[in-house]
A and B are shown apart, each in its own frame.
Chain A
Amino acid sequence: MLIGNYQESYASDEAIFRTPATRVWMGLALLAAVLFPFVAGDYLLYLANLMGVLALSALGLNILIGFTGQISLGHAAFMGVGAYATAILASRLGVPFWLSIPAGGALACGAGMVVGVPSLRIKGLYLAIATLAAQVIFEWIFTNWTSVTGGIRGLNVAPASLAGWRIDTDARAYFLIMTVAVAHYLFATNLRRTRWGRAFVAVRDRDVAAEIVGVNLFRTKILAFMVSSYFAGIAGGLWVYFTKVVTPENFPLSLSIQCLAIVIVGGLGSIKGTIYGTVFMTLVPELLKATTGLARQVWPTAQSYLFPLQDVVFGLLIVVFLIFEPHGLAEVWNRMKRFFSLWPFEK
């Protein structure tokens, strides 16, 4: 909540960062992000890279579900399409990363266009199930189209390199991933504040009225699917250079569900929320791992409970957030800001 925000022109009122305070905070955040790899250990760096990729992918899903209200249970499939496209171009044709990753995004975008076609006729639950079918079908293609995808063994990819400078450490990968992720968060913010972002939200809130007021529903929904799967495809491509290998096991239904959980816990429709959700849903399992590791000293078999415990905690987080905090962490953050903006006065 901005207090004392006075703008003198429409242009400045339309800007993303409207007060000096927010600009300063953003600058500091960027600075911290740049310095991070120089101070962080290997494991933290690995986590940061993982979160970067997930945050990017989840943002795409949020655009589809949060902005446009279309349900997708097959997001991981699009990550897979992007990843495989990137990997094939890189390993078979020697295409450099700055071409293969966008190509992966483009192919995933095309897949999104195809999967979005049913949205012309079906909505809600039925559309969700259609995307579930897409997930299963794509997984099957990844596993069984051996000549192209390498089947169960998958594909190996050499590290990305730019004019001889190889991206073969986690720190270097970090800069690549973060740059791409930050750029796409900017794109998503731009989207939300302009013509198509408004169209997406209109379709979500009242599609009947939106159509009468001039929004072509089918075109808008297809665009939402395409943008969403493009983001997933880029994330998949980055993933490939990050892990240097791609197999069908990397993109199961559980990854789609993980992305869904991130979006819901973070806050549907909130761009910042996606970041909160990613960090939260990545760090909680890590915390659990650390706890069971410690507990092992008093309780030797604790570790064998790690995976099922992660399942239970994951499920509990989803259920608890949906019941008690349906607008997610973004709303929790907003509430805190509102509280502190007036503190020590109340309300």
Chain B
Amino acid sequence: MTGSPVVESESRDILSVEGLSLSFGGLAALSLVDLSVRQGSITGIIGPNGAGKTSLLNCISGFYRPQAGRVTFDGADVTRVAPDRRAALGVGRTFQNVALFEGMTVLDNVKLGAHSRLRSGIVSTMLFTPGARREELALREQVEHEVFEFLEIEHLRHRTVGSLSYGLQKRVDLARALAMRPRILLLDEPVAGMNEEETEDMARFILDVQEERNVTVVLIEHDMGVVMDLCERIAVLSFGERIALGTPEEIQRDPEVIRAYLGEEAA
């Protein structure tokens, strides 16, 4: 009974999506999508534009309520759980449009990522009681070591986010998600708009996060190099349906996938 639990959890699914259907008015964004994600893995979600990839991520984050289906995280049904509660459970997220808080510095943006983990009440922070002071300084230390050093952005900490290049903003977006100490990271196009060097850096960070911190990663990407290199499994969406699921090699050969991307002739 005191045996190490590590072996079991390695093959467990940390996230599973079953029969997810989402529509806006009459428009179906997702139809009966299934996906299970193994703890500690990197899973890719790809598909043509408008396939529903971000909608799927939004359902997992809690921003959208699906009309049908279920989202299970770490054994618990979270389909109806509010987004901020899911964050508290360990669901981290980056955004396609970066979505940083323009009125705050990089440091504050990243610290905000840890909001759900902090305990200081509003009165104690206003009075800056010894307890509040301890928590704030501990947060600073944690964020510096675990996030700023890791992502090599220490020199940016007091800059306003508006003054950063797009690539750096995306890194800060990731930093904010990491500050939460997430169990799972949902990345929405983490290397979009990046040059080769930035892409390699980001890919390396993602791998390090998964290996060193045992964080499960689910990423949406259009950069096939990144997807094929990093992901152990890939789900392909097209027009709201999952048309394929498998290893990179299987996906590359799948006729459905080829048809979705390149049209009928290529298949």
Which residues on A are within 8 Å of B, measured CB to CB?
10-11, 13-14, 187-188, 190-191, 193-199, 201-202, 204-206, 208-217, 223, 227, 269
A213 pairs with B141, CB closer than 8 A = no
**Stretch in contact with the other chain, from B5-13, B103-111, B223-231, B245-253:** B103-111
Interface status of B78 (Cβ within 8 A of chain A): no
Q: How many chain B residues have a CB neighbour from A under 8 Å?
A: 39
B62 pairs with A205, CB closer than 8 A = no
B99 pairs with A194, CB closer than 8 A = no
Q: Which residues of B79-119 are within 8 A (CB) of A? A: 82-84, 87-88, 93, 95, 99-104, 108, 111-113, 115-116, 118
* CB neighbours of B122 from chain A (8 A): 191, 196, 223, 227
A205 pairs with B113, CB closer than 8 A = no
A187 pairs with B115, CB closer than 8 A = no
Nearest first, the 4 closest Cβ-Cβ pairs linking A and B are: A214-B87, A214-B116, A209-B99, A194-B125
* CB neighbours of A214 from chain B (8 A): 84, 87-88, 113, 115-116, 180
A206 to B135, CA, bound (A): 25
Interface status of B23 (Cβ within 8 A of chain A): no
B84 pairs with A215, CB closer than 8 A = yes
- A199-B103 in contact given A194-B120, A194-B132, A211-B84 (Cβ < 8 Å): no
Residue in B closest to A191 when the chains form the complex, CB atoms: B126
Interface status of B261 (Cβ within 8 A of chain A): no
* CB neighbours of A13 from chain B (8 A): 140
* CB neighbours of A202 from chain B (8 A): 101, 104, 112, 115
A198 to B132, CA, bound (A): 14
Interface status of B61 (Cβ within 8 A of chain A): yes
A213 pairs with B137, CB closer than 8 A = no
Residue in A closest to B89 when the chains form the complex, CB atoms: A214
- A197-B125 in contact given A205-B104, A206-B101, A213-B180 (Cβ < 8 Å): yes
* CB neighbours of A227 from chain B (8 A): 122, 126
* CB neighbours of A217 from chain B (8 A): 84
Interface status of B128 (Cβ within 8 A of chain A): yes
Interface status of B127 (Cβ within 8 A of chain A): yes
CB distance from A215 to the nearest CB of B (A): 5
Interface status of B256 (Cβ within 8 A of chain A): no
CB distance from B67 to the nearest CB of A (A): 20
- A195-B101 in contact given A201-B108, A212-B87, A214-B113 (Cβ < 8 Å): no
B128 pairs with A213, CB closer than 8 A = no
- A196-B140 in contact given A201-B103, A208-B63, A269-B103 (Cβ < 8 Å): no
Q: Which residues of B131-157 are within 8 A (CB) of A? A: 132, 135-137, 140-141, 144
A205 pairs with B127, CB closer than 8 A = no
* CB neighbours of B61 from chain A (8 A): 212
Interface status of B70 (Cβ within 8 A of chain A): no
Partner of A198, one of B87, B104, B127, B141: B104
- A212-B127 in contact given A201-B108, A202-B101 (Cβ < 8 Å): no
B93 pairs with A10, CB closer than 8 A = no
Residue in B closest to A211 when the chains form the complex, CB atoms: B83
* CB neighbours of B128 from chain A (8 A): 190, 194
B63 pairs with A212, CB closer than 8 A = yes
- A10-B144 in contact given A202-B112, A212-B63 (Cβ < 8 Å): yes
* CB neighbours of A187 from chain B (8 A): 126-127
Residue in A closest to B157 when the chains form the complex, CB atoms: A13
* CB neighbours of A190 from chain B (8 A): 125-128
Interface status of B233 (Cβ within 8 A of chain A): no
Interface status of B176 (Cβ within 8 A of chain A): yes
**Interface contacts beyond A211-B84, A212-B83: sample of 7 additional A-B pairs, CB < 8 Å, sorted by A:** A195-B136, A198-B111, A202-B112, A205-B101, A206-B101, A212-B93, A213-B176
A208 to B93, CA, bound (A): 12
B112 pairs with A14, CB closer than 8 A = no
A32 to B113, CA, bound (A): 41
- A11-B137 in contact given A195-B120, A201-B104, A214-B87 (Cβ < 8 Å): yes
Partner of A196, one of B125, B127, B180: B125
Residue in A closest to B102 when the chains form the complex, CB atoms: A205
A198 pairs with B126, CB closer than 8 A = no
A198 pairs with B84, CB closer than 8 A = no
B136 pairs with A194, CB closer than 8 A = yes
CB distance from A268 to the nearest CB of B (A): 10
CB distance from A272 to the nearest CB of B (A): 16
